[in-house]
Chain A
Amino acid sequence: MAQTIERMNSPEARKPEVTTRTVPAGSSAAVVDERVLARRAREAKKAKMTAVNEADRVSTDIGSPLVAPDGTLRMVPNLGRTVTVVGMVTNVDVNDGPHPKNIRGELGKAMNHWYTKTVAKDPLMRATDNSHAADKRNFLTTFTNAASKGIVNEQKPKVVDPAALSRHIKKVAKHLGADLVGIGAANPAFMYASGSRYVQDGEANDKYQSMSPDALAKRFPFVIQTTVAWDHDTLQAHRHHIGDMSYHHTSMKNAMVMKALEGYIKEMGYTAIRGAVNPQGAGLAAGLGELGRNGMMITERFGARVHMPDPILTDMPLVADGPIDLGVEDFCKICRKCASNCPTNSISFGPKVVYNGIQKYKINWLTCYKIRPYVADHYGSCLTCVAVCPFTKPDAWWRRVGGKLLKTTPIKARPPVVRALKWIDDTFWGEFPSRRVKFMGYDTGLKVGEHNCTDPQCTANHKEPKKLIEGSAGFYAPVKKQTDAFVKRG
């Protein structure tokens, strides 16, 4: 035991892990150099790549081949400018995620009890939060996730036109309630390790479950990702039950829309499987947005206020969209607003890092996650990094003008544009935004823990006396500069 601790504390153990790539004998290329990275960035900019084209290309055409753990060569996925695959990617087991670890008790007793044994005090949270419901039958996603799977229709459409099918599937997703939809080329680099599937309450139970990521990507060449945007106005009450509502109800809607779309693809005669692909990888490949410093997908219309649900992997003949360039790469390099607002300092101020062969901004998920049991009475999900992100704005004309300006500026000329947009954002929306939001009797103007009614029309005899608070600043549980405002307010 003592030896183990000694080894953990030794200077060698503290060194960051260096990703090493194993290349089979006979392979000529071994190093991914700067020119290759630049070339990939140029390709991402074109954003016209289809899966068919990607499959046709020789692997050496985009640099050295990446090698899977079993020695087979892998195609390098094109994920845009914000995320670059630079080394060997070991597929992640879905059971190594934060929630499964917590359920197994690996993150400590406090975390485990909070997640598995706590019932939320608030009725709205009990009806919309998966892990804190009093009765799971009052939580919609219980049924959409655990429903038995329908069979694939044997009757396929008579005329198969991939371009028309792609347009059709996008229109269908929007008709069923999605706000954004994209189709990406499936790649084993962003799939879960073989045999592991992401299923919240049901079971994967299909014959493809034992297939390796490489075999799955070959068998199912397309991945469909959709999303429903969170309501902007209620999201402004981040670190509050109102903000939770913004997040929770859309994740429920997302699960329902994806389930309906999965059912429809099966009705059309094609296979659709879920739980095999990393949602953010699929979103990047499908061109829904780019990955920001806060580790969230940043989209063109809604900014970071989107949730990436479990995508659909399908063999339906489609035409894939490529990744897009919104200027997130240039913005996040300068902005750092999410990092300075993060209550747990989980977001890095520094440059991108290479982790598991992928170059990206990496957040400290453990500190981000571990705050939750301590604030469970006040909020469920923090969402501060989403709410303060300059890209997260109402889908209005002035927001589209700013986005278009950044997008159309040549990359080298972007830094001054970013500084100007950041100045506008700080001036009009605040450097540490805290707004007073009222929703369904909830009020962020109340001090956390006080359950007074602030509705002037209400004549009910509440237990505690009414204390109406004037002003437009909200009270958000605990942290940083915002707490100053509350002291002044008394």
Chain B
Amino acid sequence: MNERDREILTLFEAGNPRGLARAISRAEAGGAAELMHALFPRSGRAITIGVTGPPGVGKSTLSSALVKTARTAGKSVGVVSVDPSSPFSHGAILGDRIRLIEHFTDRDVFIRSMASRGHLGGLAGATGDAATFMDAFGLNVVLIETVGVGQSEIEIAELADTTVVVMQPGSGDSVQLLKAGILEIADVFVVNKADHPMALQLKREIRGMMEMLTFASWVPRLVMTKAHEGAGVDELWTAILAHEEYLRTSGDLAERRRAAFAHRVRALVMGALEGRVDRRIDELIFKAGTSAEDPYRVAAALLAPLEAVLPPADGDRSARTPRPRASVKGLE
């Protein structure tokens, strides 16, 4: 461990928030390996909640209210707020933090904003690391909040113990949302802006969709909230705790965490490979000039040295995808 990481670890172990903040920065820079080695064993005690949904539904307001409820219950909270980066300048204005303003002087609430930095999944690469560090730091609850565009809803489900999907009535998003994938990943559905005239209709639509599925074990709860007023947030907290309880008693927690672990290993490996594979492709194709061979041949040549090390590829990718929590009735 180098000098700098040692410094960070010292601060971290002393419970100094600078230590946690700088550890997260190391993760964002891709240099957290040593710190993770030291700190990973201390993680696993926090409950991790993912909050996702389309832009504008009130996720941040809801998160803020949820933090408040958690605090009232005596829990310390870490929040990771993921915002999109500009594809042009790679800069970002990270604006979700502002919604959590009432918690800014609370020493037991640690808020970190992250830019997605072009990460394909929509979730910043270092999000999982940040959550682990917050956990290791001793925070009881870790909340990961992301805007649901692209595949980030799926990703969040791979990282969190409990996934909360927030929707709002009358936006036309509901149909979009209830596309395959979202329905299966939500542990709790939230219909925010519950006083909207179309709120009940959305509730019925969600229930209707759920009717078409058989759930493996946990049946997702549905909560109506008015985040601005704080209404329904206690019910949401109760639903989250109920899910956590279910995970513990059913043994699903261990499995889910194993899947999350696998997901993170995959992300690290693929991330590392991507750059190096690209450089090889550069050499093989761009620098060597036009090839007479077809793409399959070239790809096979690239992979050849790995043949000895990895299991054979086959068509079945089912081991990668999360075990479905639900399946369509009649097609199980």
Bound pair: A and B? no
Interface residues of B (CB under 8 A from A): none
Interface residues of A (CB under 8 A from B): none
